[in-house]
């Protein structure tokens, strides 16, 4: 496994692979790798010839009062996990390498970025789309892999790729969960034992929403109210949102939408946890 810390070095490594006729798979991460990341890497390993993982804690997607300084850092462990997963190259640049002095270009995807998480984290998705655009331009992957847990991010990146004519295919992969249903996340490390048990309520709430929809309930307010009750009854928390939206437009869901995205963001202790599932509406066209 090669480790590149500069743009010149990662481009050199990828260039050699492409000259050899290999397809390049890419997984972008903030570091603090967990089972969800490893599932993306595993799929990239199966489907492409040369796998690149970026490890870059991107400061532009953290607001001034958010957890950039506290975010888990485990570089040696991350590199060991990548090597064990047979990653070909890790791109681990410095902030200065990615954002040299005077950097002022921002990539924004209007519309989708203002909904759900975007309503509570202004500037977050501009930071995400900017760094992902830079990483795509630097690495030049054929295929990039993202997790369904970050469904809104996936939609935004797909739109960016389409509208900016980027030559990369985006493949979304299933959310990886703990035994009790909690979606794997680096921020789960913020939870103490009691909060960790409480956090299982998020998946139970999503499953309750799914159950109601599959039984014929297509009033989104009733669905989300039932989900909220489960979350609030589980213990102290702060709900950023519990929503039922169209799975593609993220507009409020209606009975005419074929697929609903049930999505939530909840703060438990120091952790802001997100999750979602897609539910097909019975009888929808």
Query: Of 37, 121, 196, 220, which residue is the catalytic one?
Result: 37
**Which residues have CB under 8 Å from 182's CB, separation 6+?**
188, 196, 199, 200, 202, 203, 273, 275
d(CA 85, CA 79): 10
Residue 103 is among the residues annotated as catalytic for this protein: no
Structure tokens at 180: 């009790």
Distance CA(145)–CA(130), nearest Å, equals: 17
Q: Give the C-alpha distances (Å, rounded to integers) separating 7 from 14, 31, 123.
A: 11, 18, 25
Closest CA to 283 of 216, 206, 210: 216
In this structure, what are the phi and psi dihedrals at residue 24, rounded to the nearest 5 degrees?
-110, 120
Tell me the catalytic residues: 37
């Amino acid at each position: 496994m090669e480790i590149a810390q500069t743009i010149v070095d990662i481009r050199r490594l990828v260039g050699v692979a492409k000259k050899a006729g290999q397809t390049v798979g890419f997984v972008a991460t903030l570091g603090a790798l967990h089972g969800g990341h490893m599932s993306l890497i595993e799929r990239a390993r199966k489907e492409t010839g040369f796998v690149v993982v970026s490890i870059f804690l991107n400061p532009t997607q953290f607001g001034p009062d958010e957890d950039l300084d506290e975010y888990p850092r485990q570089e040696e462990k991350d590199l060991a996990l990548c090597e064990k997963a047979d990653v070909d190259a890790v791109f681990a640049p410095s902030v200065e390498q990615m954002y040299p002095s005077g950097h002022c270009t921002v990539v924004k995807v209007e519309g989708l970025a203002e909904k759900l998480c975007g309503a509570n984290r202004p500037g977050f998705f501009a930071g995400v789309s900017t760094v992902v655009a830079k990483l795509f331009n630097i690495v030049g992957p054929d295929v990039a892999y993202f997790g369904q847990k970050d469904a809104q991010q996936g939609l935004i990146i797909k739109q960016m790729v389409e509208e900016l004519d980027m030559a990369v295919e985006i493949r979304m992969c299933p959310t990886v969960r703990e035994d009790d249903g909690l979606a794997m996340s680096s921020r789960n490390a913020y939870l103490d034992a009691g909060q960790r048990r409480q956090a299982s309520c998020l998946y139970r709430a999503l499953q309750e929403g799914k159950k109601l929809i599959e039984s014929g309930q297509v009033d989104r307010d009733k669905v989300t109210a039932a989900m909220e009750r489960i979350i609030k009854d589980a213990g102290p928390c702060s709900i950023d949102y519990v929503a039922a939206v169209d799975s593609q437009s993220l507009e409020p869901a209606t009975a005419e939408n074929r697929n609903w995205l049930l999505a939530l963001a909840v703060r438990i202790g120091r952790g802001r946890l997100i999750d979602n599932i897609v539910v097909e509406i019975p009888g929808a066209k």
